[in-house]
Amino acid sequence: MTTVTARLNGHGAPTATSAIKTEGLRKTYKSSRGDVEAVRGVDLDVPQGEFFGLLGPNGAGKSTTIGMLTTLVAPTGGKAWVAGHDVTKETVAVKRRIGVVTQNNTLDMQLTVAENLMFRSRFFGLSTSVAAKRAAALIDAFGLSDRKNAMADQLSGGQARRLMIARALVHQPDVLFLDEPTAGLDPQTRVNLWDILQVLHDQGQTVLLTTHYMEEAEALCDRIAVVDHGKILAEGSLDKLLADSGAQTVVTVRYEEPVPEGLAERAGLAERPGVSKIEAEGDQLRVFSTDAEGLLGDVVTLGTDNGLHVRDASVAKPSLETAFLALTGREYRE
Amino acid sequence: MATTTQPANIGASAGDPEVTASIAALITDAPVPHPTLWKTFSAMMAREFRVLGRNAPSTFIRAVLQPLLFAFVFAYVLPKIGSGFSAGGGAAAGGVNFATILVPGLMGSMFLMQGMFGTTMPLIMEFSWQRTIEDRALAPVPIQVLGIQKITAGAIQAFIGAAIVFPVVYWVHAPGQGPHIHVTNWFLLAVVMIFASTMTASLGLWLGTVVDPRKVQMLFAVILLPITMLGCVYYPWSALHVIRWLQIVTLINPMVYMTEGLRAALTPSLGHMPLWAILLALVGGTVVFGALAVRTFHNRVVN
């Protein structure tokens, strides 16, 4: 990774470690049928090396936000910096440092797979020979070798998406933007793309991903912002989002013997932070908590300290889906 | 990470350590890019030529067929039929054969056809539902440079398209009906051709950014046809003095200045509009339409 040379220019300026920073970012589309507020004041701060997810239903403002961060949509309010550069005043500097995979297939249909990569490399100033080498490496890594001379419009959906990601990486971008990269792909291709993205992230690649697939955000993102109606509803790590949403983890431990009356109460389990309910039923003890850290161990230890033998234990974490629906509601989207 | 069962035809499986290493190497062993305006611009031009080369057969047919048919009908078929037509065509020019009048007109209409086909049509495709324009728009140059690049590419196509007219009309004509053309001022010819091609490409870019892709057929009916038919292709502007109002109205047609400019350079003896007016319109038109097109292009890309 190249280091980001962020400039410290007073209030609101990005810090040296911010890959993406926004302050009150807004976009209102004016039209004769009335204004559409696509993004209504978004504050983001994504440090370098983070895999950040914007999770939201269709029409939540995710793509518009990416559009503004990638200089192709002009904000109508607020500020944003990518890799330390202002997205409205330093568009060329921003474009040099970003790789973008849009939702729509923007491959150059007039060119072959290899040419798509070679010309993109040359757009970014690589010499013809270096560009050819870079294209070959990308084709190899993304498993497109047998399609390298195919025209871009002959690719399958999964191949096209891989080529778009490869193309976004030609110039070693500081930040990789992925707008719903797995939408419309079959499950194999999707999981395969996740693996690729995970490897990139492991190498320190900063990624901003939008998705409306819960499991995608859960599988990949260090931090997630849930967006809807152009606003961030909640933001943080998966665990924090789950805790904030009030969704509860259920720890269930079954013992060989019946659970003695009042055991959990005597041990003070109910006073643990986050615990809302304890159920003792026959040979099993079930604890509901919003803070599951160390809870399973404690419930197991509680039993063994009182002469019980553990037969079976499980932790049912709340899903992001629960948290997501709690935040965004259930009405249908466009 | 989840393990995947990967059908062979889907391609890379990142679960494979070798593939993982090669993907990781993309980040660790990446070449450091040093883009400059010029490198990016020339790479974009190289891309245009690659595409033109790939489409060479269809590009060539498009570029040759129109002048070929025009020359065949006007310089071969009609003179052979003889009778009234040569009188009609020659009336304005006083005994000069029609091929001579037609060469500048035909070139003018080729500028327009090629400039518009070369710029407007690809642009409308790029702005249509997949917005493939975003690919080039993310290149590390201002959007305006991308607009100028598109004008440059379109102008080169228009220039070549118009130049093809020369060999065609020289070879295709009835005996004795060849055009009488003596280029006395090569510099003037070059200036006229360069500005005419740049102006049509600018016009093409502007139309491509303001016309609704769904109404593209309208371009031919409402723009291309009237501009060509009333662009002094088939008669010199001076001959229009008999229909004074039309002579004045056609002054708003940019094509008139292209064909008249070519007449000034190719057949000066036949008479043409004053040179200052031609050059003012061509240079001014290029600047005005160019600036307008780059502006509308930017606003269409960045919304």
Q: How many CB atoms lie within 10 A of CB A273?
A: 8
Kindly report, residue by residue over B218-263, the tens digit of the pLDDT. Answer: 877 888 888 888 888 888 888 888 888 988 888 889 899 999 999 8
Q: Is the pLDDT score of A5 beyond 60?
A: no
- Answer whether B191's CB lies under 8 Å from B160's CB: no
Q: Given an 8 Å threshold on Cβ–Cβ distance, is B24 in contact with A111? A: no
Tell me if chain B has a CB within 8 Å of the CB of A38. Answer: no
Q: What percent of chain A is predicted at pLDDT more than 90?
A: 48
In B, which residues are within 8 Å of A163 by CB distance?
Answer: none
Tell me the nearest-neighbour CA distance from A116 into chain B, angstroms: 9
A129 touches chain B (CB under 8 A): no
Of A71, A126, A169, the CB nearest to B26: A169
**Residue A140 to residue B31, Cβ atoms within 8 A:** no
Its pTM stands at 0.82
Q: Do A123 and B36 touch (CB under 8 A)?
A: no
- Say yes or no: A72 contacts chain B, CB-CB below 8 A: yes
Residues B113-162: pLDDT tens digits? 888 777 888 888 888 877 888 889 999 999 999 999 999 999 998 998 88
Contact B209, B137 (CB under 8 A): no
**pLDDT at residue A277 greater than cutoff 60:** yes
CATH class given for the domain over A248-317: alpha beta
- Strands A51-55 and A206-211, how do they pair? parallel
Place of tokens 């890019």: B33
Q: Which residue has the higher pLDDT, B44 or A31?
A: B44
pLDDT of residue A331: 62
pLDDT tens digit string along B282-295?
999 999 999 999 99
Render pLDDT for A199-226 as a digit per residue (tens, 0 to 9): 999 999 999 999 888 888 888 999 999 9
A72/B134 touch (CB, cutoff 8 Å), yes or no: yes
Q: Is any Cβ of chain B less than 8 angstroms from the Cβ of A159?
A: yes
Using a CB–CB cutoff of 8 Å, tell me whether A259 touches chain B. no
The string of pLDDT tens digits covering residues A108-158 is: 999 999 999 999 999 999 999 999 999 999 999 898 999 999 999 999 988
Distance CA A178, CA A165 (A): 8
**What is the per-residue pLDDT for B3?**
42
Any B CB within 8 A of A71 CB: yes
Judge: A1–B27 Cβ closer than 8 Å, yes or no: yes
pLDDT range class, residue A88, cuts 50, 70, 90 = very high
Contacts of B41 in chain A (CB under 8 A): none
Amino acid in the structure at residue B5 = T
Distances (CA, A) of B288 to A184, B203, B210: 45, 10, 16
What pLDDT, on the 0 to 100 scale, is given for residue A15?
52
Stretch A57-63: mean pLDDT: 88
Domain locations in chain A as residue ranges: 18-107+155-242, 248-317
**Spatial CA neighbour of B93 closest among B262, B279, B272:** B272
CATH number of A18-107+155-242: 3.40.50.300
Contacts of B44 in chain A (CB under 8 A): 123
Angle at which helix B56-71 crosses helix B143-163, to 10 degrees, equals 50
